[in-house]
Structure 1
């Protein structure tokens, strides 16, 4: 017990303990902030991988559209509703179900 009391009276132990507590909880780069930074970094890495994959897909589609005329025509017809002069295009849009005022959900 005397050893523990002498340890608590030691100014270097008190200073080291105070510094340790300060760095863990009160500093700008405390443990909670480090955890948040790490999770944000992981999220950004996932987004980067997603956008790299999407960029590669778009480049592949662009290369295919510039080299394949049939693919370009299909793309223009599907996306931009383009047509030939002697064709008619009918776009069918499915109506969304309306919510009634008496719905339980």
Structure 2
């Protein structure tokens, strides 16, 4: 750490003035480059990280919707394979009834 601090002290340049001057120039140039590329540029590291989080969020959402689609496909298969299951579904969700059935509708008061 002390060597790094000594790079900025011009009194210690001695015979290596040109070499130490180049090292200072390289450090400043590299720092400016990293700041520009990492944070200022439109295609920067911060944007890449945010994009990575967005991609993982969307992949999670895709898995969730794929599961829901599979459940719906199973329900469609069960409703189309049996007339009894279709009638039960129609009675429960659409309040269908056969002639002579007594229908009681109970509404939730919220």
TM normalised by structure 2 equals 0.74
1:3, distance to aligned residue in structure 2 (A): 5.9
| Runs of 5+ consecutive residues of structure 1 not aligned to the other structure | 97-105
Matched residue, 1:76: 90
| Runs of 5+ consecutive residues of structure 2 not aligned to the other structure | 9-19
Aligned equivalents of 1:59, 1:65: Cα separation in 2: 10
Matched residue, 2:79: 65
- For the pair shown, which has the larger CA radius of gyration, 1 or 2? 2
1:95, distance to aligned residue in structure 2 (A): 1.2
Aligned-residue CA RMSD (Å):
1.9
Matched residue, 2:7: 4
Q: Which has the higher helix share?
A: 2
Higher RCO (CA 8 Å, separation ≥ 6 residues): 2
TM normalised by structure 1 equals 0.77
Q: Deviations over 1:56-105 (max 9, x none)?
A: 11111111111111111111111111111222312101212xxxxxxxxx
**Number of corresponding residues:** 94
